[in-house]
Amino acid sequence: MNQPLLRTPLYDLHLELGARMVPFAGYDMPVQYPAGVMAEHLHTRASAGLFDVSHMGQVRVRARSGQVADAARALEALVPADIVALKPGRQRYALFTTEDGGISDDLMVANMGDWLLLVVNAACKDADFAHVNAALADSCTVEMLSDRALIAVQGPAAEAAVASLNPKAAAMRFMDVAELDLAGVPCIVSRSGYTGEDGYEIGMDNAAASTVARALLVQPGVAPAGLGARDSLRLEAGLCLYGSDIDLTTTPVEGALEWSIQKSRKPGGARAGGYPGARIVADQLADGATRRRVGLRAEGRAPVRGGAELFADEAGQIPAGRVTSGAFGPSAGGPVAMGYVPTHLATPGTRLFAGVRGRFLPVQVAALPFVAPTFRR
């Protein structure tokens, strides 16, 4: 990589907090703070972790007509999710699909009343912007909000922390989005996250990011948490990491993400299809796919990590898929993983074997998530 690493507006704060910085998606990001990954993970589930996610892409889509319904309809040409029925002040998970039914990114779409806010993965943001702009430019203005930062506060203490800065945060339900002032800073706040815990994702102008972060960090129970903990938390929550668990070669059905395709967009629905790969997805919705993303629990103590091959037999002779993400789950109390297996082996309890350092370690297919979510629905 020739270019120097980019920095988020919280870079100085991370150094002040003693973060260990690593390159991630072209940014210099905190992988952990002095507490360490394990402690940051456990603290997030017990109390509240504060994450800098400003490296992610935030895109504003505004219909030239001024009607958000037109922007929603236009966006439905790119995603299988129902965006037209997404009410103002609500957010939903969506997938950008490709002509062969693969996934080019996963994202959140929020209805901000007269525009749509898309939050996309850092590594995909330039490609996603180009994709949306190319498809929607006739009917919409599409703008990359490069002057905006994003902070996540996750855990049981998150509500009290954010509500201390604005009581209205407490009234929000899971997947609500609102414009709220926090510490005197206008913010876009959603009650959502990537950890399986209750919490908020908070966007603001770059110039104000440090003010908001510091105001949150002094709230009782809030501690900084880095990308290391972010990954182990989302894995325990059964959430996909784009590029590992879902990618151009995985369909929404293979990825066990059918739930993100609302009825109106499925065959027979009012606005069925109309997104890239819709026919392939429709076929798979009807007939199933040949493989499926599942959770995997190791029977022993050795972590089974992304890239490990899976086998149906102890001798490692019968291929049965592969692991796409794996780590030790501090809250799950042992190694947890996700991977793709042939659909007939995808039933929880199915015993498989993972190739690790020349041995074949027993694992069991497990329902996701590994740790129960605590969303405020």
Q: Does 303 contact other proteins by CB under 8 A?
A: yes
Q: Which stretch binds other proteins (CB under 8 A): 56-64, 101-109, 298-306, 344-352?
A: 298-306
Q: Tokens 């109309």 appear where?
A: 274
By CB under 8 A, which span of 45-53, 119-127, 161-169, 295-303 interacts with other proteins? 295-303
Indicate which single residue of 120, 327, 332, 366 sits in contact with other proteins (rule: CB under 8 A).
327
Q: Coil, helix or strand for 333?
A: coil
- d(CA 70, CA 131) in angstroms, rounded, equals 18
What does the DSSP assignment read for 227-261?
HHHHHHHHHHTT---BTTTB-TT--TTTTT-GGGS
Residue 298 Cβ, how far from other proteins at the closest point, in Å? 10
| Residue 45 contacts other proteins per CB under 8 A | no
Q: How far is the CB of 225 from other proteins (least distance, A)?
A: 12
Residue 104: C-alpha distances to residues 79, 159, 164, 256, 266 (Å): 10, 33, 38, 16, 20
Which of 4, 268, 357, 372 lies at the binding interface for other proteins (CB under 8 A)? 357
Minimum distance, C-beta of residue 235 to other proteins, in the bound complex (Å): 10
CA-to-CA distance for 28 and 23, rounded, in angstroms? Answer: 5
Q: Which stretch binds other proteins (CB under 8 A): 38-46, 86-94, 201-209, 271-279?
A: 38-46
Q: Is 232 in the site for other proteins (CB under 8 A)?
A: yes
For every residue of 156-183, DSSP letters joined together read: TTHHHHHHHH-GGGGGPPTTBEEEEEET
Q: Which is nearer to other proteins, 36 or 373 (CB)?
A: 36
Residue 94 CB, nearest approach to other proteins (Å): 29
Burial of 315 (0-12, 13-18, 19+ CB in 10 A): exposed
Decide if residue 41 touches other proteins (CB under 8 A). Answer: yes
Nearer to other proteins, 42 or 281 (CB): 42
Side chain identity, residue 22: V
Q: What is the DSSP string of 288-311?
A: --SEEEEEEEESSSS---TT-EEE
Handedness of CA 341, 292, 346, 362 (dihedral sign): positive
Stretch that binds other proteins, among 31-39, 68-76, 263-271, 362-370 (CB under 8 A): 31-39
The reply to whether 14 sits near other proteins by the rule CB under 8 A is no
Nearer to other proteins, 38 or 160 (CB): 38
Q: How far is the CB of 303 from other proteins (least distance, A)?
A: 5
Least separation in angstroms between residue 238's CB and other proteins is 17
| Residue 322 contacts other proteins per CB under 8 A | no
C-alpha–C-alpha distance, residues 286 and 47, integer Å? 43
The Cα–Cα gap between 20 and 366 comes to 33
Taking CA atoms, 187 is separated from 202, 226, 334, in Å, by: 6, 22, 38
* Residues touching other proteins, count (CB under 8 A): 18
Q: How far is the CB of 157 from other proteins (least distance, A)?
A: 22
DSSP state of 343: G
In the 8-state DSSP scheme, what is residue 88? T
Q: Is 46 in the site for other proteins (CB under 8 A)?
A: no
- Binder to other proteins among 5, 7, 25, 36 (CB under 8 A)? 36
Residue whose C-alpha is closest to residue 146's, from 61, 188, 205: 205
Q: Which residue stretch of 96-104, 112-120, 168-176, 322-330 sits at the interface with other proteins (rule: CB under 8 A)?
A: 322-330
Please identify, among the stretches 45-53, 107-115, 150-158, 296-304, the one whose residues bind other proteins according to the rule CB under 8 A. Answer: 296-304
**Footprint of other proteins (CB under 8 A):** 32, 36-39, 41, 228, 231-232, 301-303, 305, 327-328, 330, 335, 357
